[in-house]
Every structure is written in C-alpha cells, then in structure tokens.
Amino acid sequence: MKNEQTYRFGKEEELFHQTILHANNTPAYGLFDGEMGITLVLSEYERARKRRPIKNAINFLLDNILSNLHKNMPLDFANGLTGIGWGVEYLIQKGFQKGVGVEICEAIDAKLMAVNLRRVHDLSLETGIEGWLHYIMAHVQGAKLQRREAFEKGFLAECMDVCHQILLEGKADKALLSLSNKMIHILKGEDTPYSFHLGQFIQEPYSEKALGLHHGISGQLYKMMEGHSL
C-alpha cells in the first residue's frame, strides 16, 4: 500500500482559510463582529504575507459594506456606523485603499453631528463616547492629511467641552481619560498623531464559532501575525 502524505495547515494558515472562506457569510457589517473588522485583518494579512490573490476578496467585502450603509444603522463603534467609518480611515491612512474619507463618511458625519454630545451619558467604547472619540480623531487626522476638513466647527467645540468635562470629573477609565486628553491636543491644532492599533479591540478568550475581530477567528489571525501566541 502506497504511503500517502497529508498536508497539515499550520494554525495561522488554518485561521486564514476559515476567515477568507466564511467572510461573506457574516450577518453584520461592523468593526467588532462584522465584515469591516474582517476586511482590516485580511488587508493586513495580504500585505504581511504577500497574498495578492485575496485583494479581490478584500475589495468585494469593502464594496459590500459601503453599499449596505443606511441611515437607520446605529452610531455604535462596535458594530455601527462610527466603527465602519474608523475602518475606512484605517484602510486609507495605512495605504490599503484609495479614497477621500470625508466624502465616503459624509452620511456618518451628518448623523453623528446631529447628536448633542453633552447629553450623552454612555461613555463606553462599544456604544458611546469612547468609541466616537476614536472615530473623530481618526477622521480629523485623515481629513488633515488630505487637506480637507471633517465636521463642523461647532461640533468639534462641543467635543472639546465634553473631553474637558470627562477629565474634570476624572471618573472614566484610563483609556477614555487618555483619549480625551489626546483629543483636546488634536483639536487645539497640536502635532499629536492618532495611531491605529487594531489589537486593542481584540478580546480574550476567543470563540471558534465567531469570525469577527473582537472575540473571533479573524482577531486571532491578526494576533498570530503580530507574534502573539494563542
């Protein structure tokens, strides 16, 4: 009987195949649990591992996300509009995609500017102020790099007031206090860069039944690329 050799994928390759095969089956479009988070991970994978053939799949996912945006989607950072907008800026500013962020995210900005930030009590990353600050800072930076302007001045002044209030009260977690301080420096026009760190949104333990960035397979694929063990 002839000996047969069975090729076994390494763990990273296994996670990649699971991600690319099922990416379009995800029932959500957002950053944490949907197609946007997966798109960012696959973009990093394509660049790091020089897998040019998956570029078409990445472009398909991004087109699908942007074509399905609608005004009734929540503003949530985790799985709503601001997280998707943050992902758009991530792709443009890191050179994965071409485009003008303020044009692509125009409808997102309009919905966010309609909110009275001073009356928002939700300070969380997932659905409140902390997540919105991530988007606002990334978006303002992206607009500046492209010599454009993001948001109306009145909205940015309101954002500044909210950040000052958060620091004054000092009751928020360290992440929000740090973001608020950075936002104030950015809005004052100081040279304070906003850095994109995808890994900060990945949670442990992860579920092998989930595909998303936050606590799923694609998040673990990103961690493996970054040199973290599972």
Q: What is the pLDDT of residue 26?
A: 84
Whether residue 205 has a cis bond before it, omega within 30° of 0: yes
Q: What is the pLDDT of residues 164-221, one digit of tens each?
A: 999 999 989 999 999 999 999 999 999 899 999 999 999 988 999 999 999 999 999 9
Which residue do the tokens 């960035």 mark? 213
pLDDT at 182: 96
Classified as helix, coil or strand, 161 is helix
Given this model, what pLDDT does residue 228 score?
53
Residue ranges of the chain with per-residue pLDDT less than 50: 1-8, 229-230
3 contacts: CB under 8 Å, gap ≥ 6 = none
pLDDT number for residue 131: 98
